[in-house]
Structure 1
């Protein structure tokens, strides 16, 4: 299997995403038991703030680096590769420095007016080192993605998580903090510790002598440098804007949904509980397929950019179609499982069946959500990030409209949010698809791409239902019954894909060897 092949990179990154998310999930469980609900609450007040801040330097620049490095690599321009990297490090460094200074100077305003908790001074203060560390780490990962060297970036992600977990849990185990605030501060410091070691690994894997010994690669006022910088900004700014809108929308929903639910007649406590169950429990399950689509998006951008630079439209069409077929193979069964089996999954994971009701409703948007994610990655690789941002903004307007006007209506209530969510995901998906087919011809035969996976998914869910009933009579446990029936269903689904040739083993081997 070639390490530069599209499928190898996707499989590797998907596996890493699973490992990192699993470690993070286990870490959160252990951390909550060690430091308690109050400390976790303080930590959760500061962590989203950090995510908003780092959205600016890390949302668009790493993707731009991945795209431009792949373009320069495809035409054999080594000077251009390292010039892109140095300019992006300079741009990211300046952006993170400005943000760090703003946070330092306005820390009192942040804790008193934004977070509305003056005791959070030190936790917010310790987010400052993480801003630059996360920025440089993201840019270097983007460089390795663009070079089609997935292993260093993947290993760095795992190292970040491991060092963060080891530092925080070791400290908390050997020196129990005197109060919840101190415990939350240690958890925040752990973010910087993990990012430092991840960044250190990336630096060690990268030979900076290539740049240091060839200083002519970057001349601040050279026309080529200004051209590359303009290209960096042209790619990065729209993607950053789109991601920033997404983060802002999450914040707006956190404020607006409970308020509009109370207008519809919900009590304050019920409104907050309902929103918490949707955003904190159902949504994380809904985004599980992004383990695969994120790997696809990260991998498809440099692959398409590389082929676009040499006008290889045939390969662009092939890889785009392959990425969308993989997305459908994941999204179709996930949608059906969540819709029919959501109650059992929610009861297994959270012990609350009503979360499963919410999951079953919003899961109707899973297919569109996954497809829009992959489609946006393909369009970003083709340099169409402006139109994808416009498509995303139009979808968000639909969601905001439904949230504001439908939720207060007692006839809809929380269903108003679900309607807006499903409509917005469909709108973004449809607009991205229409945009893509204007430029390339997709090879997505209905029978192989949709009908066969749907057929296999239906058989899978039937097998899961009957095996669940059998195991439940045997064990009288929802947990074990759900686990075993899910394993049986998953194995049957993969087997049926091979039997119906929705997955062609020979074709997969050929693609891997490309």
Structure 2
């Protein structure tokens, strides 16, 4: 891998990773008080409407940034600037129209859609989210264009704008509605206003950033080789050829989640014999666990997004060894982040859940423990899908995600209908779903991808370091809890103190281990900005 390409790849990943961390912190600061204000029942309303929104959003936008970034990267790296412009000019109006159609469907059929998903009071929330689909379709075209040029800053800016708007406006509206005496379904709809407004504000900002980017980069482009470009129909067909398999692969899990929501709500009532209100409250507890489960993946999504155009460009120009190096570094980075996060979440599930959601149903920590292990596989499948997409095997995730999704639906349909298991069956289905996808993706990478990554190099040492870290986290928490029980007690604040101590100890132990065992090497550190200085400070050889 050339030094410049390494720096560009990791700089892009670092920008999105930093943004991902910040936006997830903002979202967590927003979600925790919002879900506490809404209660378990309101949390159920909150997630059910989001599942529909996420499905439609994925169908309309999932494949476009990836496809556009891949096509733009390949064309730009070989000096075909006219083709780059054509990709953008064709994609923007078509997918804006698609977003408008989906927005109208959500506005007109909000109540029937909510009832179909098992939440008869969720129609208003769906209508509030409807314009966000149109805005997201437009935004996805700009993000794909910028990512194809390995410029992740506009994506980061738009993500931050949405997160801040959701936090400031959404939280304020929820609080005002609760204070005014509105029920949880109305307050939940109010929580979506911030996201919709934030996405709408992103569009003029991205238009300005593209204008400035094009103007500045005009002097640094390669000579134009494509004096004749394909027609609009041919370009749109080329975009579809790449994006449709990616969209289908990404949509499968959301389609399964959409179906799974209805199945879980139905089975909790018909099989486990809970009332509608009880089933909705249990689904709300599940939603609270899901909010923690999704956090580690926010650190991995930037890696999955960044590797696609870079690997595609390396393969397009015959730099296969460079592509292999990027695959290995992305898998290793994923394991170094996701493994300790998942294990820590599982081991410390009781204090984490009680500190965040003190007055919730006591089944919450058990849900979170299962989610913790599932979170690793959630992260791993994101990067393995990115590798398959970047290497031209974008149809494979369609198969693997379908298999994983079918596992989840089958398990959830059976387990959640058992009175003694009920909602606990759903996170277990999630674990099996993402575990199956990850294993199948790795198998296909091993058999299908030339210059495939050496998996033992990126899995063994992170797993060993994580195991020791997990033991340290458990031991320190138990020690602090026993030592402080008589003085601090076991209230929310006391648990937060014990939890902070355990996390601090785990981070310290893990940091020492990855350096002492050379899990992180000086060569790895050279791939990040100022890595040599950090390596010198930590005395990494």
Query: Normalising by the residue count of structure 2, what TM-score does the alignment of the two structures yield?
Result: 0.81
Question: How far, CA to CA, are the matches of 2:343 and 2:210 in structure 1?
Answer: 44
The alpha carbon displacement at 1:283 in A equals 2.9
* RMSD value, Cα: 3.7
Q: Which residue of 2 aligns with 1:441?
A: 451
The alpha carbon displacement at 1:312 in A equals 1.6
Q: Which residue of 2 aligns with 1:16?
A: 19
Question: How far, CA to CA, are the matches of 1:327 and 1:292 in structure 2?
Answer: 8
What is the SS of the residue equivalent to 1:384? coil
| Residues 1:168 and 1:290: Cα distance change in structure 2 (over 3 Å) | closer
Q: Which residue of 2 aligns with 1:401?
A: 410
Residue 144 of structure 1: which of 138, 143, 146 is its match? 146
* Kept after mapping to 1: 8 A contact 2:52/2:258: no
Question: How far, CA to CA, are the matches of 2:104 and 2:294 in structure 1?
Answer: 34
Question: How far, CA to CA, are the matches of 2:427 and 2:349 in structure 1?
Answer: 15
For 1:194-213, list aligned pairs within 5 A. 194-207=198-211
Per-residue Cα deviation, 1:417-457 (whole angstroms, up to 9, x for no partner) = 555433332321222112112223344363x5333323322
Question: How far, CA to CA, are the matches of 1:178 and 1:192 in structure 2?
Answer: 24
Question: How far, CA to CA, are the matches of 1:321 and 1:161 in structure 2?
Answer: 31
Q: Which residue of 2 aligns with 1:226?
A: 233
Question: How far, CA to CA, are the matches of 1:209 and 1:337 in structure 2?
Answer: 42
Residue 485 of structure 1: which of 490, 502, 506 is its match? 502
Question: How far, CA to CA, are the matches of 1:505 and 1:58 in structure 2?
Answer: 39
Q: Which residue of 1 aligns with 2:262?
A: 255
The alpha carbon displacement at 1:194 in A equals 0.8
| Residues 1:130 and 1:257: Cα distance change in structure 2 (over 3 Å) | closer
The alpha carbon displacement at 1:286 in A equals 2.6
For 1:50-69, list aligned pairs within 5 A. 50-69=53-72
* Kept after mapping to 2: 8 A contact 1:92/1:135: yes
1:333 equivalent in alignment to 2:350: no
Residue 473 of structure 2: which of 464, 471, 476 is its match? 464
Question: How far, CA to CA, are the matches of 1:316 and 1:470 in structure 2?
Answer: 46
* Kept after mapping to 2: 8 A contact 1:66/1:146: yes
| Residues 1:462 and 1:188: Cα distance change in structure 2 (over 3 Å) | closer
Question: How far, CA to CA, are the matches of 2:26 and 2:347 in structure 1?
Answer: 28
Residue 153 of structure 1: which of 144, 152, 155 is its match? 155
Question: How far, CA to CA, are the matches of 1:380 and 1:40 in structure 2?
Answer: 35
| Residues 1:464 and 1:59: Cα distance change in structure 2 (over 3 Å) | same
* Kept after mapping to 2: 8 A contact 1:5/1:512: no
Per-residue Cα deviation, 1:364-405 (whole angstroms, up to 9, x for no partner) = 444433222210011111221111111111221222223334
Per-residue Cα deviation, 1:97-150 (whole angstroms, up to 9, x for no partner) = 2223444555675577778758956x5554443232221112211211111111
Q: Which residue of 2 aligns with 1:390?
A: 399
Question: How far, CA to CA, are the matches of 2:188 and 2:423 in structure 1?
Answer: 33
1:505 equivalent in alignment to 2:508: no
Question: How far, CA to CA, are the matches of 1:511 and 1:238 in structure 2?
Answer: 32
The alpha carbon displacement at 1:161 in A equals 2.1
The alpha carbon displacement at 1:307 in A equals 1.3
Query: Normalising by the residue count of structure 1, what TM-score does the alignment of the two structures yield?
Result: 0.85
For 1:306-317, list aligned pairs within 5 A. 306-317=313-324
1:324 equivalent in alignment to 2:328: no
Q: Which consecutive residues of structure 1, in runs of 5 or more, have no partner in the other structure?
A: none
Question: How far, CA to CA, are the matches of 2:475 and 2:248 in structure 1?
Answer: 47
* Kept after mapping to 2: 8 A contact 1:498/1:505: no
Per-residue Cα deviation, 1:31-83 (whole angstroms, up to 9, x for no partner) = 56778888877666654443333332212112211111111122121111111
How many residues matched?
504
* Kept after mapping to 2: 8 A contact 1:395/1:424: yes
Per-residue Cα deviation, 1:446-477 (whole angstroms, up to 9, x for no partner) = 3x533332332233233323332443324442
1:79 equivalent in alignment to 2:89: no
| Residues 1:383 and 1:49: Cα distance change in structure 2 (over 3 Å) | same
* Kept after mapping to 1: 8 A contact 2:253/2:402: no
Question: How far, CA to CA, are the matches of 1:44 and 1:458 in structure 2?
Answer: 33
Residue 239 of structure 1: which of 241, 246, 250 is its match? 246
* Kept after mapping to 2: 8 A contact 1:343/1:353: no
* Kept after mapping to 1: 8 A contact 2:69/2:145: yes
| Residues 1:200 and 1:404: Cα distance change in structure 2 (over 3 Å) | same
The alpha carbon displacement at 1:322 in A equals 0.9
Question: How far, CA to CA, are the matches of 1:288 and 1:142 in structure 2?
Answer: 23
* Kept after mapping to 1: 8 A contact 2:320/2:451: no
| Residues 1:379 and 1:343: Cα distance change in structure 2 (over 3 Å) | same
Question: How far, CA to CA, are the matches of 2:315 and 2:413 in structure 1?
Answer: 42
